[in-house]
Structure 1
Amino acid sequence: MTSTTVLLADDHAMVRAGLAGLIDATDDLSVVAQAADGAEALAAVDRAAPDVVLMDLSMPGMDGVAATAAITAAHPHVRVVVLTSFSDQARVGAAVAAGAIGYQLKDAEPDQLLAAVRAAAAGHAPLDPRVASSLLPGTTTRSAVAMSPREVQVLRLVAQGRANKQIARTLGITERTVKAHLGSVFRRIGVSDRTSAAMWARDHLD
C-alpha cells in the first residue's frame, strides 16, 4: 500500500509530537517532515515533497496563511489542510483564499482529523462542520466564500484563461473533476459560461 506523506507545521513541539504519533500509527499515512514556522514549512515542502501539509495558522515569522499561499503557488499538487484553534470567518476566508483545500479545528476527534488528511490527499475539501457554517454567505448576495476551496482554485484558474486540461494538470485532478467543479461554480454564482465566470471572479475574488 502506498503511504500518503504528511508534513506537520506547528510552532508547538508537543502538538507536532502528538500529531506525529497519531498519523504514524496508521497503515496508510506517514509523517515525512515537521516545521515550527511558515518559512520552515516552505523549505520542508521543497525538500520532502509531501502529499498533504497540516498547517497551523498562528506561528512566528511567516504565519500559516502566508506559508499556505507560498506552498500552493510553488507546489500546486501539495494539499494544505489548516489545523488551528480559530474558526472565525475572517481567518477561514483568508486560509481558503491562500489556497488551503481544507480547514480543521484542533479539538477535532482523531478519526475526523485522519479522515481529513485522507480526503485532502484524494483531492476533496475536508471542512470541519463548525467551519463550513462560517463559509455560508450571510446575505443573498453572491459570495465566493460559499464555494469549496477547490472550487475557488478552479475559478481562479478559469479567470487566468486556463483550459480544463491545464487546470487539471495544475491541480493534479482529472478533466472530468474540473468539469464537475465548474458546473458547481456556475450554479453557485449564477452564470452559464466560462467568460461570465471569469468576469465574476475578477470582480469578487482578491
Structure 2
Amino acid sequence: MTEYVELARAESERGEVVLRERRDPDAGVNAPAVLELRVNGVFVMDTQETSSERGLARAALAKVTDPRRVVIGGLGLGFTLHEVLADQRVEQVVVVEIEDALVQWMRDGTVPHGPAYLADQRVSVVAADIRVAMAEATPAAYDLVLLDVDNGPGFLVHDDNVALYQRTFLEQARACLSPGGALVIWSAAESPTLQKEMREAFGNAVAVPFEVTLQSRDEQYWIYLSRVEA
C-alpha cells in the first residue's frame, strides 16, 4: 500500500495547500520518494511525472523567435520554470504564484530542488494573483506568457480562476506582450471555448495537441497559443 507523509501544510483564503511525500513500499528501499502537491484535496502535480510541465515550456519557447522576457503563471514544483531557464535565449523570467506558502517551500528547501531552481539570477518570483500582475504590467514588457495555474479551464484549482480563460484577462495578457510575443495556455482537455476567447482577444488562436506518456499510458493534452502580430 502506498504510504504518505505530510511535509508541509498552509491555509489561505482560497483554502488548503498540502505538500506530501509518497512512497511505494513495493518499489524497494532505494526507490526515490515522490513529492505531491494538492490544493483543497485535489491532486495538482508531483515529481514523478513532469512531462507536461516541461513540454509546455519547450513547445511555447519554440513558437517565439526571441523569448528574452518570460512570465510564468503558476510556480507549481518548478519544472516549467526549470525548462524555460534551459533556453539560453531567455534573459528574464518572472514567476507569478498566488500561494505564498508554496514560494516559501521552494525557497527554504522543503521542496528539495527548490533553492537550486530559484537561484538562477534571471528569476524573480512574485507572490500575487496572475490577473493582478498582468493588469499592472508595463505594455509590451514580455515576449512570452505561459499560463499553467490549472489543468485547463475544465479543471480549475480555484473557482475564481475561470476568469483567466475569458476575454478580459486574455486582453490584459495581450497588452503586456511585445510584437511577435505569444500567450500559451496548457489544458488537460480540448477546449473550443478557450480557443474562441483567445481568438477574440488576439485575432488568432491555435490548438496544438501534445502527446505524452504517463506511466506507460499514452495521453493527449492541449496547448493553446495566440500571438501578437509583429
TM over 0.5: no
TM-score norm. by structure 1 comes to 0.41
TM-score norm. by structure 2 comes to 0.38
**Which has more helix, going by share of residues?**
1
Larger of the two Rg values belongs to structure = 2
**Which has more strand, going by share of residues?**
2
